[in-house]
């Protein structure tokens, strides 16, 4: 067997593995694969880059270090991200799934394109602390990479454009569309009475922001969380300087939510119950909480149990165990 990762039979990627069709009931994606058509060679290159700490200054941190497959590519059990030299970041690592439907990226939406997104962690001094120029030099000196870039792109060039395209082929194909909820919607599975009650409650009380089938409406809202006095994270306001956007963060997807704890932009809640307890509180006008949430969402303890049962139907075992996305070196 050859030494190239793509040759490893266990992780072999075929044309069929990289074909994209819009899942049943999903809208048209925003990221257009027509301009970056996934190929087995491009996907395998993207995967190698994703799991390779060569992208960080001291070769200690890969994308996959923070974005773990078992947690739908969030960082399981870590409230805040951990980067180079053990430095702790300001935010909770979000899951990576259904990214091609995102209208923007990051908790504050400051990035608007999947292909430029990796430049942020790469250059962040507390994440990977590396420059794209230096990464490209390192990749150009690496025999395995030069062969893989050649296989993946017509122009064969090891440059940042191709590197970012390969990463987008890999992360763009991370699609969760086969949870029990999805199967129920397609008429392939049933939900229990508790789960169905939860779904009904969800549609009454949560759907306005966590819109099906992606479980986000891609807007930014203030959920009335008291600002963390150590982190001083003002959310969208820190990006655009607008007071009205203080404390607004992206409405996150709730797919695979069972696995992506702890919760919220700063990981302050360990359990779904704690998130629901938060939503039932009343907030003052000064808190800046979204009008939908100011009065608190009324939920009985039984309602909370039902909603949590429903949220767990969003766990997608197919996606979580999809070998295409596993670290070929077996590290993560
Ligand atoms: C040190 C941990 C860390 C590393 C390394 C890291 N990320 Fe992230 N990633 C995060 C955090 C934290 C956020 C959210 C940041 C924010 O909102 O400010 C994030 C956000 C993202 C998002 C946006 C998701 C969304 O729904 O908005 C994508 C995509 C992403 N990362 C991909 C990558 C890729 C690709 C790499 C490797 C080049 C990478 N990340 C490396 C921690 C990390
Ligand atoms: C007004 C819009 C809005 C409504 C209504 C709403 N949410 Fe949220 N939800 C958000 C936002 C925004 C966040 C992220 C907040 C943050 O991190 O600061 C969030 C975060 C969450 C999280 C944590 C996700 C993660 O990855 O950390 C869960 C779980 C959640 N909401 C569940 C619900 C449920 C269940 C309901 C209904 C009872 C609901 N939400 C109603 C906007 C909303």
Atom 20 in ligand 1: residue holding the nearest Cα: 106
What is the Rg, in whole angstroms, of the alpha carbon atoms belonging to the chain?
20
Q: What's the mean per-residue pLDDT of the chain?
A: 95
Q: Is the pLDDT of residue 2 over 60?
A: no
Q: Average pLDDT in the 183-187 region? A: 98
Residue 99: per-residue pLDDT = 98
What does the alpha-carbon distance between residue 307 and residue 252 come to, in Å, rounded to a whole number?
17
Q: What's the CA-to-centroid distance between 13 and ligand 2, angstroms?
A: 36
- Identify the CA nearest to 72 among candidates 319, 304, 285: 319
Is the C-beta atom of 184 inside 6 A of ligand 2? Answer: no
Residue to substitute in 96, 206, 233 for testing ligand 2 pocket (most ligand atoms within 8 angstroms of CB): 206
What is the band of 8 on the pLDDT scale with cuts at 50, 70, 90? low
Burial of 126: CB neighbours in 10 Å, binned 0-12, 13-18, 19+: middle
Q: Average pLDDT in the 96-121 region? A: 97
Whether residue 252 contacts residue 74, with contact meaning beta carbons closer than 8 Å, is answered with: no
Query: Any idea how long the chain is?
Result: 332
Whether residue 136 contacts residue 158, with contact meaning beta carbons closer than 8 Å, is answered with: yes
Closest ligand by atom to 274 CA: 2
Q: Average pLDDT in the 253-258 region? A: 98
> Each residue of 261-319: pLDDT tens digit?
999 999 999 999 999 999 999 998 888 999 999 999 999 999 999 999 999 999 999 99
For residue 23, give every residue at least 6 positions away whose Cβ sits within 8 Å of its Cβ, in sequence order, or none. 175, 177, 182, 213
């Amino acid at each position: 067997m050859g030494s190239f990762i793509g040759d490893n039979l266990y992780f072999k990627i075929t044309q069929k593995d990289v074909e994209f069709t819009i899942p049943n009931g999903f809208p048209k994606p925003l990221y257009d694969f027509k301009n970056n058509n996934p190929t087995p060679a491009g996907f395998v290159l993207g995967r190698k880059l994703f799991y390779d700490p060569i992208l960080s200054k001291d070769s200690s941190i890969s994308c996959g270090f923070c974005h773990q497959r078992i947690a739908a590519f969030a960082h399981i059990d870590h409230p805040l991200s951990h980067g180079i030299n053990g430095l702790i970041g300001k935010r909770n690592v979000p899951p990576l799934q259904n990214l091609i439907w995102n209208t923007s990226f990051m908790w504050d939406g400051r990035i608007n394109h999947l292909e430029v997104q990796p430049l942020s962690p790469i250059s962040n001094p507390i994440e990977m602390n590396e420059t794209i120029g230096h990464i490209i030099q390192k990749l150009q000196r690496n025999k395995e990479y030069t062969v893989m870039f050649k296989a993946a792109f017509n122009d064969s060039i090891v440059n940042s454009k191709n590197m970012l395209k390969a990463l987008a082929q890999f992360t763009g194909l991370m699609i969760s569309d086969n949870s029990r909820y999805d199967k129920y919607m397609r008429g392939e599975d049933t939900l229990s009475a508790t789960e169905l009650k939860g779904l009904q409650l969800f549609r009454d009380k949560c759907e306005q922001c966590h819109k099906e089938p992606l479980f986000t409406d891609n807007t930014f809202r203030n959920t009335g969380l008291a600002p963390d006095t150590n982190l001083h994270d003002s959310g969208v306001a820190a990006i655009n300087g607008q007071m009205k956007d203080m404390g607004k963060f992206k409405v996150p997807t709730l797919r695979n939510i069972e696995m992506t704890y702890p919760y919220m932009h700063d990981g302050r809640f360990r359990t779904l119950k704690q998130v629901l307890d938060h939503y039932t509180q009343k907030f003052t006008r000064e808190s800046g909480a979204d009008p939908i949430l100011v009065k608190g969402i009324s939920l009985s303890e039984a309602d909370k149990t039902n909603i949590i049962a429903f949220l767990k139907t969003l766990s997608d075992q197919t996606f979580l165990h999809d070998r295409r996305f596993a670290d070929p070196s077996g590290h993560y």
